A and B are shown apart, each in its own frame.
Chain A
Amino acid sequence: MKIVVAIKQVPARDSLLKVNGEGTWIEDADLAYEINEPDAYALEAGLQLREKEGGEVVVICVGPDRATQTIREALAKGADRAIHIETYEETVGDPLALARVLAAALSEESPDLVLTGLQSDDLGFGQTGVILAEVMGLPHGTLIMNIEVSEGGITVKRELEDGWFQNVEIPLPALLTVQSGATKLRYATLMGIKRAKTKEVKQLDISDLQTESEPTIAVSRIYLPEKSKKSVVFDGPARESAAKLVEKLRFEARVI
């Protein structure tokens, strides 16, 4: 089974974010980066499937030079090879344009299964996977918690709202967007890290894959949200803050 996993590099969780002077993106010079969390689960799902079914796991990433780090980590965890499509922008802000780039880069791969995360932590469109499925002409499933290979395809467990789940049968080839948290993530072993250095990373340039199309969505500005709710916030030494809060809860809110 040939499995492609789309991974994105995003600013590390808990980064302190500042908007740049032009309001086009965040100040990204001093940030630490990591793999987008759901993508780590998509990779894990791909690796587990390969262990059961055999085959190959290929990771694909659109991002600047620094994304090499995230790609190497995926290879160290066990992906067989990688495709890195280099961009010079901080990010691609149009998920349809991005999906077309991914589809073009995958045109010669004909994977049995494409896995993506369900959402990116930075742009958070929650769409790239589904769009990619449509661009590639594949059936898809979203919010996937489990994948079983069955007769002629796969049976997946989807998360629905309010604690509901649903199993869905999908023929292969197909695309799935993977939900976080369904399994434990593996760590890269020392051996894995060593092996990763010899694995193939195919470098493509985004300008070579540029598929002609007018953008249908455009970000005009980013900014910090205005505070709309006036909360009473204490930020002094812990003991003082605690005393003030308890007083408020007792005598103002009267909830204790």
Chain B
Amino acid sequence: MSGVLAVLELAVGGSGELKLHKMALEALAAAKRIGAELGLPVSAAVVGSGVGPVAAAVAQYSVEKVFAVDHALLAAYTPDGYSIALKQLVAATGAKYVVFPHTYQVRDFAPKLATSMGQVLASDVVGLRVEDGALVLVRQLFQGKINADLRFPGDGPHFVSVQAGAFRADGLEAGAAPVEAFTPELSAAQIRTKPLELFRESSRAVDLTAADIIVSVGRGIREAENIGVVQELADALGAELAASRPICDNGWLPMERQVGSSGQTVAPKMYVAVGISGAIQHLVGMKGSKVVVAINKDPEAPIFEVADYGIVGDLFEVVPALVAELKK
């Protein structure tokens, strides 16, 4: 096909029924953008065991073809199994661009797949355009503080993973595509790692998703002893207290109060981020909030990109001043 191939991930956990990962269709949206910009046909692939029904669901979108990459040895995800299977699919289809969502699973196998084909994955891409007939991809450096334009100098195949929320799936057109089964050649001996059961740890006694207002604290707080400063703001606002990952890693607040890709996803009426830089893994957990307020001493902190209101200043001055103002 020598076109664009979107690899659509399946969701982890759950009841056992296979369904798409929440970012899967964003990869399809990015693939469609690349296809439109370069005039290339777009197909999709779903990888696993018994993926026929999911592939059939994907075929309801406007794509050229959907590949159901199916094998009993792909029932449980392994980096060996997935990269071997996809390498065969990419070779068989002659895909020029292969697009993934930048999920934890993709981080785990896509760099290996690209390396096995002598390529480098352009990871965590946030934007793209065509310049002089060539694709230019935008990715972030320094946790979102700086952008970089990337190009692929070689002939490909080119591998791209896209950041959560960077390409919207809601504009995908409906269609009726054929589903083609693809059975990779795979033997148990090729799979070197043995995945065991999935499990969850924290009890999640606190349901942050039910809070109207959340005050969230980050590493700007410096020490556990200072948490009280933001607790007072939370109290003054009648808010739940939440945190970025390093705060929970340090044990300054319990894990169940962590917001972000490895914590909870929240969408309150107001989210107040105090001393939080706004790394993407945090943003994905709170971007849907109605009103975002950021308090940070660095005017260039990426959190201001998603903030409706902000104060640039030292939180140890700003937060007590806010509490005083709220109590007036």
Contact = CB atoms under 8 A, between A and B. Distances in A.
B325 interface: yes
A94 B123 CA distance: 12
B262 A161 contact: yes
B295 to A, nearest CB: 9
Contacts of A99: 115
B146 A245 contact: no
Contacts of B198: 160, 164-166
A216 B146 contact: no
B245 A181 contact: yes
Contacts of A253: 270, 291, 308-309
A235 B314 CA distance: 10
Contacts of B249: 180-182
Interface in A162-179: 162-171
A149 B116 CA distance: 28
Interface stretch (B35-43, B45-53, B104-112, B180-188): B104-112
B288 interface: no
Contacts of A191: none
Nearest to B204: A163
A209 interface: no
Contacts of A227: 304-305
A56 to B, nearest CB: 24
Interface string A147-159: 0000000010001
Chain B contact-residue range equals 35 or more
A243 interface: yes
Contacts of A162: 12-13, 262
Contacts of B79: 130, 139-140
A232 B308 CA distance: 6
A238 B319 CA distance: 8
Interface stretch (B26-34, B58-66, B148-156): B148-156
A235 B199 contact: no
Given A126-B124, A163-B200, A224 B291 contact: no
B80 interface: yes
A246 interface: yes
A219 B150 contact: yes
B199 A164 contact: yes
B146 A229 contact: no
A125 B104 contact: no
B175 interface: no
A82 to B, nearest CB: 25
A29 interface: no
Contacts of A139: 79-80, 192-193
Contact of A222 (B12, B109, B141, B270): B141
A135 interface: yes
B142 A127 contact: no
A166 B308 contact: no
Given A161-B103, A165-B200, A238 B299 contact: no
Given A164-B199, A233-B310, A124 B124 contact: yes
Given A241-B318, A255-B291, A127 B144 contact: no
Given A216-B118, A235-B299, A166 B196 contact: yes
Contacts of A17: 142, 145-146, 300
A248 interface: yes
A224 B147 contact: yes
B104 A159 contact: yes
B306 to A, nearest CB: 7
A245 B146 CA distance: 28
Contact of A225 (B122, B140, B262, B293): B140
Contacts of B261: 161
B298 A168 contact: no
A234 B141 contact: no
Contacts of A168: 193-196
A104 interface: no
A127 B141 CA distance: 14
B148 A241 contact: no
Nearest to A221: B149
Contacts of B13: 160, 162, 164
Nearest to A217: B120
A239 interface: yes
B111 A134 contact: yes
A216 B119 contact: yes
A24 B153 CA distance: 17
A190 interface: no
B130 interface: no
Interface string B59-100: 000000000000000000001100000000000000000000
A175 B214 CA distance: 39
Nearest to B312: A235
B107 A143 contact: yes
Interface of A: 11, 13-14, 16-17, 19, 26, 94-96, 99, 118, 121-127, 130-131, 133-135, 139-143, 155, 159-171, 180-182, 213-225, 227-229, 231-235, 238-239, 241-243, 245-246, 248-249, 253, 255-256
The 9 tightest CB contacts between A and B, nearest first, are: A181-B249, A242-B321, A238-B317, A139-B192, A235-B312, A127-B111, A130-B111, A134-B115, A169-B194
Given A16-B298, A164-B198, A222-B148, 18 more contacts: A17-B145, A96-B115, A130-B107, A131-B112, A160-B13, A166-B195, A168-B194, A169-B194, A215-B153, A222-B147, A223-B149, A225-B140, A232-B309, A233-B312, A238-B321, A242-B318, A249-B309, A255-B290
